[in-house]
Amino acid sequence: MSGGGIGVEFSLKNLPNMLPGLILCAVFGWLALQWDATMSGWNRDFKEAEKILKEVNEGKAPVTFAEYKQKQADGFAKRTEKFKADEAKFKEAVAAGDKTAKAPRKPSKPVVLQEADFNEVVQAKSIPGNLNFGNLMISFQLTYVAMLLLGGMLIRNTVGLPEVFKAGTVAARPLIKPGIIILGALYMWSDVLKVGVLGLALVVAFVMGTQVLISYWGRRANVDTGLAGVMGAGVGVCGVSAAVAVAPVVNAKPRDFFYAIGTILLFGTVALFTFPYIGKALGMSNPVYGAWVGTAVLNTAQLVAAASWYSHESLLTANIINIVRVGFIPLIVLWAIYFYVVKPAVDAGHEGQKINVWEVITSKFPIFVFGFFIMVSMNEMGLFTAEHRSILGSDLLKLFFAIGFAGVGLNIAFDDLKKAGGSAFMIGVVSATLKAVLAAIAVILIGGAAFEVKG
């Protein structure tokens, strides 16, 4: 379901236990964002340096740094003037009732190289090493997301995580959820409905499909019903939380339950680290990749991380599909009750147990998604300016995600993954892989335009 604060209850009483780990995640998050800002800056400067180098080779570049700075300032002033004129025209068109008029985009401040970097480009005709490094890191997608996940995993499995930090790092993972909520400021209802309807089709086909497939496959292969039920819920919808929700319904045995959880965690971890590169290798556009991870990655924290790793645009698409997906948890529990409790009873000639559908829905529905819908509605009502949207959907989003991703990375313990095993491993991995492959084919065929979020 979520990054899941399973085992850590949010309460003031627990705060002293959680505080050291939360502070650790905040520090790691800050360091990773600092890295991200530096690398992005160097990457931006690299592109500017490349442009200047091209001009130098063509004999067009300004000779001195002062001339270069002036040229950049003049260009910006020109673009600002044009923006003001376009904005006035846009306002007139809107006042005249023209609904097709498009708001002009405010010009961004020009990139101006440091004097030393500029001189190196112009005089030595080479790009400074740090700018090359930044470009390399960004091209390998080693952003703050990768640093936190890889770094966290490395620390956890080498030097280890002292006990005092454990509760807090687990509690940090749900901080991804406020990020998901405030991201709602970037959507219009038309986006949510357009991508949501397709997302619904994908969720029904692949998420529910996986659950049903594992149920029938498990029965045919004489796999224990408990194991098949837990695995179906976990692989189908959302990892550990769904598996825990279904476990009592299907009478899962402890050993099978932990096998299933290990398998789900293992697949999720492998998916998290490989999907961004598979997406690039397959040439997936941002919306297509977002739709793919939204359907194929098993839990919210890993899904959000895998999408953010790729691009912000991918995250916008993946987030809607994830909202639809987590809304399916009550239905997965209902399916488990029907398939493992009601149907066998009816088949055996007994009266089927009545299901309190409403009770299941209200107790299992993840209510944080209402926050997301409220944000979308507020944006639709025009309560957010472009500046608000930028602060919420970019700056603060990164802060929440960075702390949450630090928690995710620090909680990837190889010991937990080793618990994967038994027949659960085979069923889980084959089903999850099948779901990922079929979902990739489906979203590629549907195409990026259908999943694009315009905002």
Partner 1 sequence: MSEETNKSDYEAKAKSTFSAERKEDYFVLALATITVALVLTGVIGPNFFKSLFF
- Residue pair 396/262 in contact (Cβ under 8 Å)? The answer is no
Out of 395, 414, 418, 447, the residue judged to bind partner 1 by CB under 8 A: 395
Name the minimum Å distance from CB 370 to partner 1.
8
Piece of the chain touching partner 1 by CB under 8 A; list 196-204, 208-216, 370-378, 408-416: 370-378
Question: Residues binding partner 1: what is the number (CB under 8 A)?
Answer: 53
Q: Which of residues 183-222 bind partner 1 (CB under 8 A)?
A: 185
Contacting partner 1 (CB under 8 A), which of 104, 110, 327, 371?
Answer: 371
Alpha helices in 173-282 (DSSP H): 176-182, 189-202, 209-220, 225-233, 239-250, 254-281
Q: Please, which of residues 347-366 interact with partner 1 by CB under 8 A?
A: 363-364, 366
Taking the C-alpha atoms of residue 44 and residue 306, their distance in angstroms, rounded to an integer, is 23
106 contacts partner 1 (rule: CB under 8 A): no
At position 402, the amino acid (one-letter code) is: A
Question: Looking at beta carbons only, is 278 or 355 nearer to partner 1?
Answer: 355
From 121-129, 207-215, 302-310, 369-377, give the range in contact with partner 1 by CB under 8 A: 369-377
Of 298 and 392, the one with the shorter C-beta distance to partner 1 is 392
φ, ψ at 142 (rounded to 5°): -85, 70
> What minimum distance in Å lies between the beta carbon of 391 and partner 1?
5
Q: Among positive and negative, which fits the CA dihedral 350, 353, 328, 419?
A: negative
Please compute Rg for the chain using Cα positions.
Answer: 25
Residue of the chain from 146, 182, 223, 301 that contacts partner 1 (CB under 8 A): 182
Quick check: 9 binds partner 1 (CB under 8 A)? Answer: yes
Instruction: Report whether 172 contacts 28 (CB < 8 A).
Output: no
375 binds partner 1 (CB under 8 A): yes
Please state the separation of Cα 84 from the chain's center in Å. 36
- Stated as kind and residue range, the H or E segment containing 23 is helix 15-57
The least CB distance from residue 60 to partner 1, in Å, is: 33
Which of 263/300 has CB closer to partner 1?
300
Q: 166-196 as b/e, with b when 16 or more CB fall inside 10 Å?
A: bbbbbbbbbbbbbbbbbbbbbbeeebbebbb
| Gap between the Cα atoms of 309 and 112, Å rounded | 27
For residue 13, the 8-state DSSP code is: G
Query: Rule CB under 8 A: is residue 134 a binding residue for partner 1?
Result: no
Question: What is the contact mask toward partner 1 in residues 137 to 176, using x (rule: CB under 8 A)?
Answer: -------------------------------------xx-
Q: Within a 10 A sphere around the Cβ of 332, how many other Cβ atoms?
A: 25
Q: Could you say which of 399, 413, 417, 434 contacts partner 1 (CB under 8 A)?
A: 399
Binding mask 223-262 for partner 1 (x = CB under 8 A): ------------------x--xx-xx--xxxx--x-----
Question: Quick one: 228 or 439, whose CB is closer to partner 1?
Answer: 228
Q: With contacts defined by CB under 8 A, name the span among 55-63, 212-220, 378-386, 434-442 that binds partner 1.
A: 378-386
Minimum Å gap between C-beta 151 and partner 1 is 18
Does 387 engage in binding with partner 1 (CB under 8 A)? yes
Q: Does 108 bind partner 1 (CB under 8 A)?
A: no
End-to-end CA distance of the chain: 25
Residue type at position 287: P
**C-alpha span between 67 and 358 (Å, rounded):** 71
Q: Segment 15-34, which members bind partner 1 (CB under 8 A)?
A: 30, 33-34
- Residue selected from 23, 200, 212, 391 as contacting partner 1 according to rule CB under 8 A: 391
> Where do we find the tokens 């509760």?
167
* Distance in Å, CB of 396 to partner 1, minimum: 6
CB 258 within 8 A of CB 418: no
Taking CB under 8 A as the criterion, which residues in 54-93 touch partner 1? Answer: none
What's the token pair of residue 199?
Answer: 């997302």
Residue 182 near residue 404, CB atoms below 8 Å: no
In terms of Cα–Cα distance, which of 258, 205, 255, 250 is closest to 228? Answer: 250
Give, to the nearest 10 degrees, the angle between helix 225-233 and helix 209-220: 160
Binding residue for partner 1 (CB under 8 A) from 65, 83, 90, 368? 368
Residue 407 binding partner 1, by CB under 8 A: no
Element (H, E) at 51: helix 15-57
- Smallest gap, in angstroms, from Cβ of residue 235 to partner 1? 18
Residues at the site binding partner 1, with contacts judged by CB under 8 A: 1-2, 4-11, 30, 33-34, 37-38, 174-175, 177-178, 181-182, 185, 241, 244-245, 247-248, 251-254, 257, 363-364, 366-368, 370-371, 375, 378, 383-384, 387-388, 390-392, 394-396, 398-399
